[in-house]
Amino acid sequence: MSCDEKRSNPHAFRNDAAAKVTGRAKYADDLKAHGMVHVVPVYSDEVHAELVSLDVSGAEKMPGVVKVITADDVRRIGGQPTWSYLIPDYRMIVGAGDHIRCNSDVIALVAAETRAQALEAAKRVTSVTKPLPVVLDAEEALKNPPVFLYEDRVFEGKKNNVVNHYKVRHGRGKEALSECDFILEHTFRTQHHEHAYIEPESALCTLRPDGVMEVMGSMQHPFSTRRFVAAILGCPLADVEVRSIPMGGGFGGKDDTAAIVCARAALAARLTHRPAKLTYAREWSMRESYKRHPYILHYKMGVKDGRFYAAEVEIIADAGAYCSATPWVTFRSTAQCCGPYPVPHVHCDVYGVYTNNVFTGAFRGFGSPQVNFAIEELADMAAEKLGISPVEFRRRNMVRQGSITVTGQALSSHEVTLEKAMDAVLAAANIEEKMKKCSHGVPAEGSDELYGVGLAISSRGMSLGGEGADFNSAIINVNFDGSILLEVAVHENGQGAESAFMLIAAKELGCDVKRIRYRMASTSNIPDGGTTVASRGTLMGGGATVIAARNLKEKMASVLCKKLCCAPGEVTFHDDRIWGKDGAVSMSWQEAGDAFYWSKDYPYAFGVFQGGHVSWDEETGQGDAYFTWVYGCQAVELTVNRKTGKVKVLGMTAAHEIGRAINPPMLLGQIYGGMVQGLGYGLQEEMKNEGGRMKTLNFNSYRLFRAADLPEMQAFFLESGDPNSPSGAKGIGEPALELMAPAVANAIASATGERFFQIPVTPERILARFKARAAEAEAKEHGVGKSEPEGT
């Protein structure tokens, strides 16, 4: 059922591992093309301004410059400089007469013989701008806007900065708050969080002689990339071929940003009639790429008879200057606004709001890490007020088989395994014993270290849910020599998707995985399968693989049954051979290929997996938000130094229910990596800006955890299968990230006795709180009135 594979079970299967461990894997910036130009972006220093005019003449005269590209060039070829997939508001290049809406905006591109020449020339692009008022606070932009980012935009009948507004109206809503024993009313805040993939964006684009723009880039959604490229070039989708190459990490961050980098490179290739490479410096990547949405979360959570009974919630998500995936991200926050608790009465409003900050979009977790931070702190606070343990509170309140979620969905399509996941963590790390030893603000004699333990649980809807149409495809093509080509419309982001599909196909076909070659995917070969997000890769791509394999077996049985002296239904596939009735006769895959050749037919199959039923009512926020769910629990043990505020993490433990494990070592790798990203989110990672200008532009100022800062981790997985998934597998990418920040906040509270309502909980914020408390105590001693510490 569960296992700890820490050092005991090696032999991960990866089709791309040998290439990656020898340095032979070619990422986008490792590629070259004859005669290619080097492209760089030109930024404006403005945060919000009218771009009155642009002068590129100085840049054009610089040595080596092939072309300086502006939005006018895009219009001239019939392309769209402004485009996106939900609201078409993204300025791939801001043109003169348009507005610069954030400091990340690009106003021109320079293509030159060398990168150094392009960089030099980029400095010579000048502009005349007329500054506009700036709004950086999402709540202000929503409730008291000093300026509208899109003057013509009207939403819900009036002019405002709202991107989207989702609601939940469940039970008797906020009315039921009056029936509660007590209400926890708090505001939580989260930060701009950077994906920090180690490979910056890069693209190499070539206009082929057949008129097709060929794109190879560091992106996680080839089909979205194709749409951006087609938009900027003003051409049909069929005229763009995006090919999958190794990508150096994405975590949701290489969807639109990376697609836009590809689109700009394609534009340069189109206009210069030469291959074009655009590789981002880390500073450009951090300046321009979208982040995780900062949230302001106002909760009134009512508790009655020891249970979460009623909630009034307002969530404000800072979309930045462009919409990107904001409606989809906030959809998840809406559907999961009460975390893993089936609160019977809920009134929730979630707003995505335009500001002049860098835009925000998809990031592993996708609207749940912010909500979980608030909800899982509220759970601990409720437990404390009730005088019961955080574990006991969760046992009483968590979703169980058949529970009705806040959107009115009955959890009955699959096994609800949240308690099993929590119990696995409790047992493995002895959490309940450790909880008894927490400092609660009082260190052990002679020590400055405050000890704490915290945990968090979650239920998570899988895949896109009510936010989109969910389907995927796979192609299995058996060659006449018996070797097999597999292609799935899910992108390999580095997580091992291709390897998982190969293992799934091998299992379903009863063949040796070595027989299978994963075909380098191309948008011109396989239909659009959507993006590799929402932890849908293994579920949707694996589902399509299973269905393609079943279709293939049916096809092969119908052709081979005569030779195998049996009926088609009696043909079986196992032990790397194809068998007749009761194993009396069998043939090799090569013999099968040969038989197909002589029967003038193909052992070829296409498989489509359509995600299960979902429904959503926009007005009430009621419906079956997701067709299946996963469950998880993570815990952390740490100390906080009361003099420095420094946090030392002593241990982290996770257990996740994932349906079925396909490639256990890679599954564990997802959990470990997710825990550490979640830890960074909770403790130290924050994109900082001053007046809308990003200040954390590289890894010296944006600090990621390093190996030496981290403790050993324990990871467990639980397998209960899932009838909604053809392979039985669900997913793990996002569940692994969405829990550690609240676990950390709860652990810090149990260590210090102080509750923090804003992440990251940095040493500076901890120290500020300690100082405020000390000042408060001193004032009390001197008879001065009580002062509340700062709201952080």
520 binds another protein per the rule CB under 8 A: no
Q: Which of the stretches 102-110, 169-177, 194-202, 617-625 binds another protein when contact is defined by CB under 8 A?
A: 194-202
428 binds another protein per the rule CB under 8 A: no
- The residue count of the chain comes to 792
Distance CA 137, CA 357 (A): 9
699 binds another protein per the rule CB under 8 A: yes
For another protein, the binding residue among 10, 236, 387, 446 (CB under 8 A) is: 10
Q: Which of the stretches 21-29, 145-153, 225-233, 585-593 binds another protein when contact is defined by CB under 8 A?
A: 21-29
784 binds another protein per the rule CB under 8 A: no
- Tell which positions 707-746 bind another protein, by CB under 8 A: 707-708, 710, 712-713
What DSSP line would sit under 232-271, residue for residue?
HHT--GGGEEEE----S--TTTTSHHHHHHHHHHHHHHHH
Q: Where are the beta strands (DSSP E) in 447-561?
A: 449-461, 471-478, 484-488, 516-518
For another protein, the binding residue among 486, 666, 732, 739 (CB under 8 A) is: 666
**Helix H segments across 399-517?**
418-429, 431-435, 497-509
Q: How far is the CB of 698 from another protein (least distance, A)?
A: 6
Q: What is the DSSP letter of 653?
A: E
Q: Which of the stretches 60-68, 581-589, 615-623, 703-711 binds another protein when contact is defined by CB under 8 A?
A: 703-711
Closest to another protein by CB, 260 or 675: 675
Exposure b/e, 673-699, CB count within 10 A at least 16 = b: bbbbbbbbbbbbbbbebeebbbebbee
197 binds another protein per the rule CB under 8 A: yes
For another protein, the binding residue among 87, 134, 269, 676 (CB under 8 A) is: 676
Distance CA 437, CA 750 (A): 9
- Tell which positions 28-67 bind another protein, by CB under 8 A: 29-30
- Phi, psi of 427, deg, nearest 5: -70, -45
Query: How many chain residues interact with another protein (CB under 8 A)?
Result: 59
Q: What angle do CA 757, 761, 767 make, to 5 degrees?
A: 100
* Rounded-to-10 torsion of CA 209, 212, 213, 216: -100
Q: How far is the CB of 213 from another protein (least distance, A)?
A: 24
Which tokens belong to 568? 């088609």
For another protein, the binding residue among 1, 21, 565, 774 (CB under 8 A) is: 21
Q: How far is the CB of 21 from another protein (least distance, A)?
A: 4
CA 785 to each of CA 80, 547, 768, 790: distance values in angstroms, whole numbers, following the listed order:
62, 70, 20, 16
677 binds another protein per the rule CB under 8 A: yes
What DSSP line would sit under 683-719, residue for residue?
HT----EETTEE---STTTSPPP-GGG---EEEEEE-
For another protein, the binding residue among 2, 3, 4, 14 (CB under 8 A) is: 14
For another protein, the binding residue among 296, 476, 668, 687 (CB under 8 A) is: 668
For another protein, the binding residue among 494, 580, 603, 623 (CB under 8 A) is: 494
Binding map of another protein across residues 620-659, x = CB under 8 A, - = no contact: ----------------------------------------
Q: How far is the CB of 711 from another protein (least distance, A)?
A: 10
672 binds another protein per the rule CB under 8 A: yes
Q: How far is the CB of 38 from another protein (least distance, A)?
A: 11
Chain-centroid distance, C-alpha 82: 24
For another protein, the binding residue among 1, 6, 123, 412 (CB under 8 A) is: 6
Sign of CA pseudo-dihedral 136, 141, 143, 148? positive
Exposure b/e, 373-392, CB count within 10 A at least 16 = b: bbbbbbbbbbbbebeebbbe
Distance CA 245, CA 252 (A): 17
Q: How far is the CB of 697 from another protein (least distance, A)?
A: 10
Question: What percent of the residues of the chain are helix, what percent strand, and what percent coil, each to the nearest 5?
Answer: 30, 25, 45
Distance CA 98, CA 614 (A): 40
Closest to another protein by CB, 237 or 281: 281
Closest to another protein by CB, 462 or 675: 675
Q: Which of the stretches 233-241, 626-634, 693-701, 718-726 binds another protein when contact is defined by CB under 8 A?
A: 693-701
For another protein, the binding residue among 196, 350, 635, 718 (CB under 8 A) is: 196
User: Which residues make up the interface to another protein (CB under 8 A)?
Assistant: 6-7, 10-12, 14, 16-27, 29-30, 195-200, 246-251, 281-282, 493-496, 665-666, 668-669, 672-677, 698-700, 704-708, 710, 712-713
